[in-house]
Amino acid sequence: MVLLLLNYLISVLFTNGPPRLTVPYTTFIQQVNADNVKDVTAQGNSIQGDFKSSVTYGSASGAAFQTERPVFAQDNLEALLQQHNVPITATPPGGQSALLTLLISFGPALLLIGGFLYLSRRMQTAGPGGILGAFGQSRAKLYTPDSGPKTTFADVAGIDEAKQDLAQVVDFLKTPEKYQRLGAQIPHGILLVGPPGTGKTLLARAVAGEASRPFFSLSASEFVEAIVGVGASRVRDLFAKAKEAAPSIIFIDELDAIGRSRASSTTFGANDEREQTLNQILTEMDGFTPNQNVVVLAATNRPEVLDPALLRPGRFDRRVTVSPPDRAGREAILKIHTRNLRLAPDVNLGEIAGATAGFVGADLRNIANEAALLAAQKGEDLVTQADFDEAIERSVLGLRRPIVLGPDEKRLIAYHESGHALMGLLVAGADPVKKLTIVPRGLSLGSTYSQPIDDRYNYPESYLRGRITLALGGRAAEEVAYGAVTTGAESDLQQVNQIARSMVARFGMSPKLGPLNLIQPGDGAVAQHFSEETSRLLDEEVRRIVDECHRDSVRILTENRDRLDRLAEAVLKKDTLDQDEIYAAAGISPPASFHPTIAPPLPGNGSSRDRDLAKDEVGSEIHR
């Protein structure tokens, strides 16, 4: 591009003279007759020259002009010019010297050759990688013990098991001779696995901070470029730098960007850029030349798609699972994220931790920051418990929407949400309903929010059926109260379909299909590797489960129609009801204590966020 630009400038600057006014041939003859032509220069039928006085033609004016003499012109131009004493020159305009002619003719070619030689020399001297050396240098960021404030294990909470797994690596990096004298070798690679936001990257930084060793950090996507071979060259350069600074740490975030299984590659041929990069990583970690004193940390939330060669011993020897924190872990995380906040005496971090079941570290950090922003917006001097409660509501339910609902639509929404809330009160084992609102928030026109008491990690079949029954409570309330259904149950039906299909296709909870798992590993989709008969049975079993749960919802609400009416009228008056007001309106005594039932006959709400059962959930059950 630069060479083309230079070629254009040469042709413009050296071949073209000053700008000239283009005038018609008749205008030129008129100016000759008016004795306003100073001189002319002719080349064929092209005429250039200068006027004695500036001439305006159209929107332009000037003394230097040019024109074309028509080939059919029969006038005696030479006699006319001599008559008016106009000097005539037959030399071509803008005459060029021999040197300039050579420069214009061979200049572009010389520039191309010179530029190619310059780039070749730069690439050859750029380091490892040959002609790709200039592009193949690693873009990893280097953090050293002197780089500034460092992250330590004190900044990490809620994942104590993961910290314990990495403590040996930190000890080796601090005192490698203690292990080397016994012939022990540190693991070549450690893979951090967990959902997004659980603190995998933070944990890697803490390892570097605790070990006080050079730390090379980059994302896996930074290896790959459009030019084939660049990724492999960057891998070689990264490991070369890490070996020079050994003992050191390399951290590769989002490893699945380049570490996907080669067997599932959709590209044609085996030498595409991603595979070359992966092959080079495999070689550097455990190839012909052993890798010593360089620990490779990597993070991913999709370990199932990684190439098996990455996971074998000698490559990523250890897999550290970074799970969402339990209640005690969430409280410890909140203590870290609120240590710089000015908290009011009424703030109870334990209660906040209980209200955020299923939340990960990133969610809790956002809630703490959101509460501080709300307090500052209100002009408060301290962050109160009410600010945290509102921050949780914003995170779970979304922001308020300034829309005005008509009385009929508002009543319909009240019955829909009251159906959810009443099912949460009547179904055995359900989590306590905390809030019922018909104020539009986020994408919903109303919400029913129930808070789990404890974290749960195993779900019996009866519990899942109760979740479906509860989700259908809003639609069932519309049928009981209005004898018709509306579009308001769309998100509920999505959750119902997902849970019922998982029960049949994933958890083997169908007597007709039996203990089979039909889910394709890696993407959570139902794999089409079974017969049409199995597919038909799957659909029939999903339909059967949903129909049975729907009948239960309609039956329970029909038997408690008076409670449904009272609850709907109460929420219509106040727009939002808290836990005590919900129990009072429904005429039900709140339980003195809550103990989760392992297998209730008709269980209720979900107790923790489960990405596989309901992606729309955020720790607590929300029905819209």
Last residue of a domain, one of 369, 397, 425: 397
Strand, helix or coil for residue 369: helix
The model's confidence at residue 488, banded by pLDDT at 50, 70 and 90, is confident
3-state SS track over 448-512: EEECCCCCCCCCCHHHHHHHHHHHCHHHHHHHHHHCCCCHHHHHHHHHHHHHHHHHHHCCCCCCC
Q: When comparing pLDDT for 455 and 399, which is higher?
A: 399
Domain of 388 in residue numbering reads as 330-397
Q: What is the pLDDT of residue 256?
A: 85
The model's confidence at residue 123, banded by pLDDT at 50, 70 and 90, is low
Asked if residue 128 lies in contact with residue 136, where contact means CB atoms within 8 angstroms, the answer is yes
In a shared domain, residues 508 and 543: yes
Residue 500: give its domain's CATH number.
1.20.58.760
DSSP state letter for 340: T
Mean pLDDT of the region 506-530: 73
Q: What is the pLDDT of residue 608?
A: 31
Q: What is the pLDDT of residue 606?
A: 32
* Residue 10 maps to a domain: no
> Which tens digit of pLDDT belongs to each residue from 22-78?
888 888 888 888 888 888 888 778 888 888 888 888 888 888 888 888 877 777 888
In a shared domain, residues 82 and 171: no
Q: Which of 391, 502, 396, 511 is nearest to 449 (CA)?
A: 396
CA distance linking residue 49 with residue 530, whole number of Å:
88
Share of residues in the chain with pLDDT > 90 (%): 14
Mean pLDDT of the region 155-179: 82
CA 594 to mean position of chain CA atoms = 39
* Residue 562 maps to a domain: yes
**Inter-CA distances, 207 with 65, 169, 215, 292, 600, Å:** 77, 8, 9, 18, 45
Q: What is the pLDDT of residue 129?
A: 44
What do you get for the CA distance between the two ends of the chain, in Å? 57
Q: Which of 192, 413, 437, 425 is nearest to 295 (CA)?
A: 192
In a shared domain, residues 76 and 214: no
Instruction: Please state which of the ranges 117-131, 210-224, 361-375, 431-445 shows the lowest mean pLDDT.
Output: 117-131
CA distance linking residue 243 with residue 78, whole number of Å:
86
Residue 562's Cβ-count burial label (10 Å; 0-12, 13-18, 19+) is: exposed
Which of 210, 273, 284, 417 does the annotation list as catalytic?
A: 417
How crowded is the C-beta side of 105, counted as CA atoms within 13 Å? 7
**Taking CA 22 as the corner, what is the angle to CA 21 and CA 24, rounded to the nearest 5 degrees?**
135
CA distance linking residue 616 with residue 495, whole number of Å:
8
The model's confidence at residue 480, banded by pLDDT at 50, 70 and 90, is very high
Q: When comparing pLDDT for 245 and 546, which is higher?
A: 546
Last residue of a domain, one of 89, 104, 126: 89
* Residue 126 maps to a domain: no
Helix 461-471, helix 532-559: angle, nearest 10: 60
Residue 276's Cβ-count burial label (10 Å; 0-12, 13-18, 19+) is: buried
Residue 238: give its domain's CATH number.
3.40.50.300
Q: What's the number of domains the chain is made of?
A: 4
Q: What is the pLDDT of residue 365?
A: 92
In a shared domain, residues 310 and 275: yes
In a shared domain, residues 174 and 54: no
* Residue 374 maps to a domain: yes
Q: Inform me whether the pLDDT recorded for 373 exceeds 90.
A: yes
Q: What is the pLDDT of residue 104?
A: 63
In a shared domain, residues 364 and 387: yes
In a shared domain, residues 392 and 432: no
> Which tens digit of pLDDT belongs to each residue from 278-330?
888 888 887 655 656 788 889 998 888 888 888 888 888 888 888 888 888 89
CA distance linking residue 508 with residue 519, whole number of Å:
11
**Helix, strand, coil % over all residues of the chain, rounded to 5:** 50, 15, 40
Asked if residue 617 lies in contact with residue 494, where contact means CB atoms within 8 angstroms, the answer is no
In a shared domain, residues 587 and 565: yes
Highest mean pLDDT among 168-177, 420-429, 508-517: 508-517
The neighbouring-strand residues paired with 65 are: 21, 49
* Residue 123 maps to a domain: no
Pairing state of beta strands 621-623 and 447-450? Answer: antiparallel
Residue 52: give its domain's CATH number.
3.30.720.210
Q: Which two tokens stand for residue 514?
A: 């039996």
- Torsional sign, CA 522, 526, 528, 530: positive
Strands in 46-57's sheet, in edge-to-edge order, are 21-22, 60-68, 46-57, 37-43, 88-89
Strand, helix or coil for residue 265: coil
Last residue of a domain, one of 295, 321, 347: 321
In a shared domain, residues 417 and 292: no
Residue 357: give its domain's CATH number.
1.10.8.60
Share of residues in the chain with pLDDT > 70 (%): 78
Q: What is the pLDDT of residue 519?
A: 75
Q: What is the pLDDT of residue 141?
A: 67
Q: Which two tokens stand for residue 122?
A: 């730069």
CA distance linking residue 252 with residue 274, whole number of Å:
15
* Residue 103 maps to a domain: no
In a shared domain, residues 442 and 492: yes
In a shared domain, residues 392 and 265: no
* Residue 164 maps to a domain: yes
> Which tens digit of pLDDT belongs to each residue from 85-106?
888 887 654 455 556 566 666 6
Q: What is the pLDDT of residue 605?
A: 33
How crowded is the C-beta side of 564, counted as CA atoms within 13 Å? 27
- Torsional sign, CA 458, 462, 464, 467: negative
* Residue 298 maps to a domain: yes
In a shared domain, residues 224 and 358: no
Asked if residue 86 lies in contact with residue 39, where contact means CB atoms within 8 angstroms, the answer is yes
Q: Which position has the token pair 């074309």?
A: 68
Q: Which of 378, 414, 557, 545 is nearest to 488 (CA)?
A: 414
Q: When comparing pLDDT for 271 and 586, which is higher?
A: 586
Q: What is the pLDDT of residue 146?
A: 66
Q: What is the pLDDT of residue 496?
A: 92
Instruction: Please state which of the ranges 88-97, 426-435, 593-602 shows the lowest mean pLDDT.
Output: 593-602
- 393 given a catalytic annotation: no
